Copies of this chain bind each other. A is one copy, B any other.
Amino acid sequence: MAIMVGRETKVIVQGITGHQGQFHTKSMKEFGTKVVGGVTPGKGGSAVEGVPVFETVHEAVEQTGANSSCIFVPARFAKDAVFEAVNAGLGLVVVITEHIPFLDAMEFVNYAKLRETTVIGPNCPGVTSPEFGKIGIMPSKMFAKGDVGVISRSGTLTYEIVNALTEAGIGQTTCVGIGGDPIIGSNFVEVLSRFEKDRKTKRLVMVGEIGGTAEEEAAEYIREHVSKPVFAYIAGRSAPQGKRMGHAGAIISRGRGTAESKIKALEAAGVVVAQLPTDIPGLMLGK
């Protein structure tokens, strides 16, 4: 078992004919993912990496039975692409595209929630279940099958940590890059709750960053609802505070948002917090 990506996952790639779309379609297929179709308006009828291209998501779903999408379309068209995927009834939509305006992301995240579609991202590396496949852009080589669930706000740092886990002989059920934007489709709490329910997942790794209060909220959730051991790293202990403008941010965060606040909250919830990302495998192995 794994979360989000499983045996039944059939993926379409929106923006499949673009440079990134093509490259990662190939990579996803090589990883063993069932990529069943692509969508690029105006290119319907063609094929990319042996995958048929359709004019609309609805058509692609009808013809291929797809249930998931990986979105590479440019930021200014991304909102409509997600709307289309959600409207077509897909269960999982992974939005790789970065630089999507907040209000656009907010709208598609709301729409997805209304229609019970899970959105990962935007501005994320996607989801990889080593046993079943990957939706997104994570480098394929670094994964190994195992019992650890990884959730991360950061892209490259995830690779760093997953790589270290694999080298230490610790495999993964699923790695979820939730994305670093302020408005994202699935946050720590939502992904934690899935891992908690997944029987194959025995331990969790959580990679956070300074800014926002998502890690503090995750800590609260872990304390009340997560029975599995959680190991975390929070990036940005030594990063400078940004020049904040206005009072609104301070009112919302009320002193939370710093690395100290996050680490304190997580430790209070029983989470083992690593000083450096590369310390995580050692901590998991009890070294």
A197 in contact (CB, < 8 A): no
Determine the chain B residues whose CB is within 8 A of the CB of A113 once the complex forms: 113-114
A87 in contact (CB, < 8 A): no
Give 4 nearest A-B pairs by CB, closest first: A113-B114, A110-B114, A114-B114, A113-B113
Determine the chain B residues whose CB is within 8 A of the CB of A110 once the complex forms: 114
User: Which residues of A approach B to under 8 Å, CB–CB?
Assistant: 110, 113-114
CA distance A110 to B114 in the complex (A): 7
CA distance A113 to B114 in the complex (A): 6
Min CB–CB distance A103 → chain B (angstroms): 16
**Can you report 4 A-B residue pairs in the complex whose CB atoms are below 8 A from each other?**
A110-B114, A113-B113, A113-B114, A114-B114
Instruction: Tell me the number of copies of this protein.
Output: 2
CA distance A113 to B111 in the complex (A): 11
Min CB–CB distance A112 → chain B (angstroms): 10
Nearest residue, chain B, Cβ from A115: B113
CA distance A110 to B110 in the complex (A): 10
CA distance A113 to B116 in the complex (A): 10
Min CB–CB distance A187 → chain B (angstroms): 15
Determine the chain B residues whose CB is within 8 A of the CB of A114 once the complex forms: 110, 113-114
CA distance A238 to B114 in the complex (A): 38
CA distance A113 to B110 in the complex (A): 10
Nearest residue, chain B, Cβ from A113: B114
Nearest residue, chain B, Cβ from A116: B113
Nearest residue, chain B, Cβ from A109: B114
CA distance A114 to B114 in the complex (A): 6
Min CB–CB distance A258 → chain B (angstroms): 28
CA distance A246 to B110 in the complex (A): 33
CA distance A240 to B110 in the complex (A): 41
Min CB–CB distance A87 → chain B (angstroms): 14
CA distance A114 to B113 in the complex (A): 6
Min CB–CB distance A114 → chain B (angstroms): 6
CA distance A113 to B117 in the complex (A): 13
Min CB–CB distance A118 → chain B (angstroms): 15
CA distance A113 to B113 in the complex (A): 8
